[in-house]
């Protein structure tokens, strides 16, 4: 009997969008043509002091999973920075399943979690969430993804509205918007005086602990 091992379907190549932390997986290899062995993995994000008796682990063990991957990190840490989860994503192949006790084990940001679950689903990996009895790749799972996408969009709109309201309140209060200037007006004047005295950009940058490009821009603005 010839044993054929399963090849990994995708690796973890992540892309960060300008609107926030939205992660997606890119397909970087093909499934072995001869055969594939579907695998089921559990994932849990736990605290170090509850590792042996964490309810998540008990639920996952009752599922008879082949392997359970754990991380002891904050839920705010994105998937790419979690050693356990990022390693698991590298191993998952088409037809495999990832099981979690609760959706928030994948993250606390709805937008990020939505991107991760959708990417896994599009690449043929099923995600099963035990506490709500949902598995992607099924009709109920598709409905769940649609609802989750709606919540993610709602969250984005709330963030935008809060940002706009905050900026407007700052304007009305007469506060300066944007980054604080690197150099004060007095420092900028001193920079120009040193340049006129023949000091180099590198020397001036070292004095004020800024980059040479900052010194150059300051001098140009004063010309």
Claim to verify: residue 39 and residue 137 sit in the same structural domain: yes
* 26 vs 54 pLDDT, higher one: 54
Claim to verify: residue 171 and residue 210 sit in the same structural domain: no
What are the catalytic residues? Answer: 47
Claim to verify: residue 160 and residue 191 sit in the same structural domain: no
Confidence bin at 62 (pLDDT 50/70/90) = very high
- Domain count along the chain: 2
Question: What does the pLDDT look like over 16-25, one tens digit per residue?
Answer: 433 333 334 4
CA angle centred on 221, ends 215 and 223, rounded to 5°: 105
Claim to verify: residue 39 and residue 86 sit in the same structural domain: yes
Claim to verify: residue 72 and residue 18 sit in the same structural domain: yes
Claim to verify: residue 142 and residue 214 sit in the same structural domain: no
Write the CB contacts of 128 (distance below 8 Å, at least 6 apart in sequence): 97, 98, 99, 100, 134, 135, 136
- Give CA–CA dist 5/28, Å, rounded: 18
The answer, yes or no, to whether residue 47 has pLDDT greater than 50, is: yes
Claim to verify: residue 168 and residue 94 sit in the same structural domain: yes
Q: Specify the 3-state DSSP secondary structure of 54.
A: coil
Question: What does the pLDDT look like over 160-216, one tens digit per residue?
Answer: 888 888 777 777 777 665 565 678 888 888 888 898 888 888 889 888 888 888 888
Claim to verify: residue 118 and residue 210 sit in the same structural domain: no
- What is the pLDDT averaged over residues 45-49? 73
Claim to verify: residue 85 and residue 189 sit in the same structural domain: no
The answer, yes or no, to whether residue 35 has pLDDT greater than 80, is: no
Claim to verify: residue 104 and residue 192 sit in the same structural domain: no
Claim to verify: residue 95 and residue 168 sit in the same structural domain: yes
Q: Where are the alpha helices (DSSP H) in 73-138?
A: 83-91, 110-122
75 token code pair: 């839920």
Claim to verify: residue 62 and residue 172 sit in the same structural domain: yes
Element (H, E) at 221: helix 212-222
The CATH number of the domain holding residue 63 is 3.40.50.1390
> What is the edge-to-edge ordering of all strands in the sheet holding 67-71?
67-71, 40-45, 97-100, 126-129, 134-135
Please give the share of the chain, as a percent, with pLDDT higher than 70: 76
Q: Residue 12 belongs to what domain range?
A: 1-177
């Amino acid at each position: 009997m010839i044993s054929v091992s399963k090849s990994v379907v995708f690796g973890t190549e992540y892309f960060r969008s300008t609107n926030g932390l939205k992660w997606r997986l890119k397909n970087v290899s093909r499934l072995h043509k001869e055969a594939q062995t579907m695998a089921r993995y559990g994932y849990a994000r736990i605290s170090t002091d509850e590792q042996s008796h964490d309810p998540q682990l008990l639920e996952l063990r009752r599922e008879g999973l082949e392997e359970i991957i754990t991380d002891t990190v904050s839920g705010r840490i994105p998937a790419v920075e979690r050693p356990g989860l990022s390693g698991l994503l590298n191993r998952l192949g088409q037809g495999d399943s990832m099981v979690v006790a609760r959706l928030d084990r994948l993250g606390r940001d709805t937008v990020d979690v939505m991107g991760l679950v959708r990417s896994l689903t599009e690449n043929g990996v099923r995600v099963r969430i035990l506490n709500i009895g949902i598995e992607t790749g099924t009709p109920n799972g598709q409905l769940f993804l649609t609802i989750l996408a709606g919540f993610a969009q709602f969250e984005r709109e709330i963030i935008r509205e809060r940002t706009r309201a905050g900026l407007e309140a700052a304007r009305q209060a007469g506060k300066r918007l944007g980054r604080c200037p690197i150099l004060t007006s007095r420092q900028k004047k001193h920079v120009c005086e040193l340049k006129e005295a023949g000091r180099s950009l590198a020397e001036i940058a070292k004095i004020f602990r800024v980059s040479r490009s900052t010194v150059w821009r300051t001098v140009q603005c004063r010309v």
